[in-house]
Structure 1
Amino acid sequence: MFVAPPVKHEDHDAAWDAALRAAVDWSILLDDEPGDPDLRERFEAWRMADPLHDGAWRQTVHVDALIRQLPTERPQPETAAPVGRARLPRPRLRHVVAGACLAALAWLAVPIVLLQVRADFITDSTSQADIRLEDGSRVRLAPGSAMRADISATGRQVTLYAGEAFFEVTPDPTRPFEVAANGTRVTVLGTGFNVRIGERDTDVAVKHGRVQVEHTEPQAASEVLATGQWMRMSANAPAARGEIAPEVVGSWTRTRLVAVDRPLPDVIEDLRRRYAGQIVLLGDVPRDLSVTGIFDTSDPAAAAELIVRPHGGRVRQITPWLLIVSLNGQAS
């Protein structure tokens, strides 16, 4: 079994990602024109130009072979109500290869076993959890999320490892309440607030009260958010902040996704956490494509269509467990 070469440095990680995406593009072209000798020659030149290219191509071929062994039906969770779905044209194998390869990256990026060891609470794609902590505070944990809570006589620390959570904190001046989420620290000053970990950013929004937000990696000046304010923290870009209707904060549910002026890739990531299969967003989508709306995630394909349609996007359902999303100018 072929395993992608291990990478540690951020630049190497980005190079492997780019090589894998290029390999997927080549698989699409070769699938379209299997008898084109010039195309095959250009592909071989690309593959032999860098060991990463060859490794990415071997990974693509390997995943393709695995997919051929997979069933085409996936049983629905017992808790999910039957949902009608329009029958979509079945695309060619190239979409399956693209989806599975990038899904493999996602699997490597967030080791499920590690989350199970570190987290106290984990939700799957079809459930949310309503948690009452020892101090009386309440947490609503979104689908596809994981967190740990350490409540003691001297302090209250919560770590959000993945996903999204809404907090209603019981005031206690003697015990600060802090939430750590992917390099962002939120210190509660008596409030109800929402924290969401995205693919590149961490969002904090306040429903009522106030919170202090700071980025810990690298250390940055802290800012205070009040009712109806939000902030997006990123390690690679300046922090962004704005206003939001308080009633919208934390208004998501297991099957309802709420987005207010959020980057399109982040909204697709939220949908992915609520889907028992894989959703693959092809290409490098500009971060300035924003989404606002309320989406019913009980039908992930329909929700994805509504999310990307205003930007000229399209959705292909390969099997009950794989959706491919592409925008204008991307492979589809």
Structure 2
Amino acid sequence: MNQTFPPQFERDCDTALGWITRFRAEDASEDDHRAFALWLAADAGHREAMDLMLELWDDLGSVRHLPFEEPLREAPANRSRRGWLGAAAALAASLAIAAFILPMTTNQEPPDYFQTAVGERQTVVLEDQSRVTLNTDTRIEVSFKRSARDITLLRGEAYFEVRTDPDRPFQVNTGSADVTAIGTAFNIHIYDGMTDITVTEGVVRVSERDKPAGRPAQTAILHADEQLQASRRGLGQSYRADTAADIAWQQGELIARELPLAQLVGELARYHDNRILISDREVATLTVSGVFDLDHPESVLLALERSFALEVERLDDNTVRLLKPRQ
């Protein structure tokens, strides 16, 4: 029986097939390796495609027997399950090439990975004594070589305290920017295709990662207490940062300064599996200021209830709804 797949899933598998041909090429670079890792972590759909690949691995036996010498051809829009078995196997092959063959061809040690769960914070001391503090639900890849110190922020938010080493630049790569430190401390948060960079000490250079054709790549220099937002459209203008608020998460705090309640609830959702629902637009647009304890969500609900006379309706063990007070 034929089985069709959503268009986005087809596009994800087509992208994976493109990675296969790239990794088969002799000129595949370390940037290709990092970009591949970013693609895998950028969207839950990419990981779902990988889950399918792993599920089908046993069905296929081994990708070693695939006819790699045959050129990849465009498949019709509605593919059979048999056709997608081949696509999934090709995705498996791309992972094998990326994870094993490419590091050997570049003569470098496999990267180290560090990550935190939802609600967790962790400080990692790297081999050069630089420190990285990971915020909730964050994952990084660390690859140190003789001539460079490369970190890829795959998801989440991290604070970097960098030891100076002129002979080995310290660079953090995100989906939209490369951030090079010059003996400094800075915070990076990636979300929804955006990258927020806040410098607390020293200087960093920010470079556009994937520039559109037809114009030079954008670069910017950020000093202490400056912030910049990068996206796939380029680099935004730098501006003065609210540094205390941006790094308050390290102390388990969320500092809100006239923040819409809906945005505050969205920030809290990063740190807990509990859900806070809002009843209507009037409640959602209430502006909130204060310092909130990220480790104790019940105290946040109590503060909101008292400050705005809101009614808190508990729907189940993990879900509450904020309502306007009854008249």
What is the TM-score with the length of structure 2 in the denominator? 0.54
Q: State whether structure 2 residue 146 is matched by structure 1 residue 153.
A: yes
| Aligned amino acid, residue 171 of structure 1 | T
**Distance between the aligned counterparts of 2:232 and 2:306, measured in 1?**
30
For 1:93-143, what per-residue CA distance to the aligned partner results, in whole angstroms no more than 9, with x for missing partners? xxxxxxxxxxxxx993584997xx997111112321110001110011011
Contact 2:219 2:235 in 1 (8 A): no
| Aligned amino acid, residue 271 of structure 1 | L
| Aligned amino acid, residue 236 of structure 2 | A
Q: Structure 1 residues 196 and 261 mapped into 2: Cα distance closer, same or farther (>3 Å)? A: farther
**Distance between the aligned counterparts of 2:122 and 2:298, measured in 1?**
24
**Distance between the aligned counterparts of 2:255 and 2:160, measured in 1?**
17
Contact 1:301 1:323 in 2 (8 A): no
Q: State whether structure 2 residue 174 is matched by structure 1 residue 181.
A: yes
Q: How do 1:15-30 and structure 2 match up within 5 A? A: none
Q: How do 1:240-251 and structure 2 match up within 5 A? A: 240-251=237-248
Q: Structure 1 residues 238 and 152 mapped into 2: Cα distance closer, same or farther (>3 Å)? A: closer
- Alpha-carbon deviation of 1:197? 1.1
* Secondary structure of 2:128 counterpart: coil
* Secondary structure of 2:250 counterpart: coil
Q: Structure 1 residues 231 and 153 mapped into 2: Cα distance closer, same or farther (>3 Å)? A: same
**Distance between the aligned counterparts of 1:9 and 1:279, measured in 2?**
34
Paired residue for 1:296, among 278, 293, 296?
A: 293
Q: Structure 1 residues 222 and 320 mapped into 2: Cα distance closer, same or farther (>3 Å)? A: farther
Instruction: Give the number of equivalent residue pairs.
Output: 226
1:7 alignment counterpart: 8
Contact 1:155 1:176 in 2 (8 A): yes
Contact 1:227 1:246 in 2 (8 A): no
1:193 alignment counterpart: 186
Q: How do 1:1-332 and structure 2 match up within 5 A? A: 5-7=6-8, 108=44, 111=47, 120-218=113-211, 220-235=217-232, 239-253=236-250, 255-258=252-255, 268-278=265-275, 293-300=290-297, 303=300, 317-322=314-319
| Aligned amino acid, residue 163 of structure 1 | G
Structure 2: runs of 5+ lacking an equivalent = 12-41, 51-98, 100-110
2:14 alignment counterpart: none
- Alpha-carbon deviation of 1:218? 3.2
Contact 1:202 1:232 in 2 (8 A): yes
- Alpha-carbon deviation of 1:184? 1.8
Two-structure CA RMSD over aligned residues (Å): 4.5
Q: Structure 1 residues 297 and 272 mapped into 2: Cα distance closer, same or farther (>3 Å)? A: same
**Distance between the aligned counterparts of 2:6 and 2:190, measured in 1?**
27
* Secondary structure of 1:253 counterpart: helix
* Secondary structure of 1:125 counterpart: coil
| Aligned amino acid, residue 182 of structure 1 | G
**Distance between the aligned counterparts of 2:279 and 2:44, measured in 1?**
18
Contact 1:260 1:292 in 2 (8 A): yes
* Secondary structure of 1:252 counterpart: helix
For 1:11-43, what per-residue CA distance to the aligned partner results, in whole angstroms no more than 9, with x for missing partners? xxxxxxxxxxxxxxxxxxxxxxxxxxxxxxxxx
Structure 1: runs of 5+ lacking an equivalent = 11-105, 328-332
- Alpha-carbon deviation of 1:185? 1.4
For 1:146-175, what per-residue CA distance to the aligned partner results, in whole angstroms no more than 9, with x for missing partners? 111111211111111111111100000100
Q: Structure 1 residues 107 and 230 mapped into 2: Cα distance closer, same or farther (>3 Å)? A: closer
**Distance between the aligned counterparts of 1:275 and 1:248, measured in 2?**
19
Contact 2:9 2:45 in 1 (8 A): no
Identity of aligned residues (%): 26
**Distance between the aligned counterparts of 2:224 and 2:210, measured in 1?**
26
**Distance between the aligned counterparts of 1:152 and 1:108, measured in 2?**
30
**Distance between the aligned counterparts of 1:228 and 1:239, measured in 2?**
16
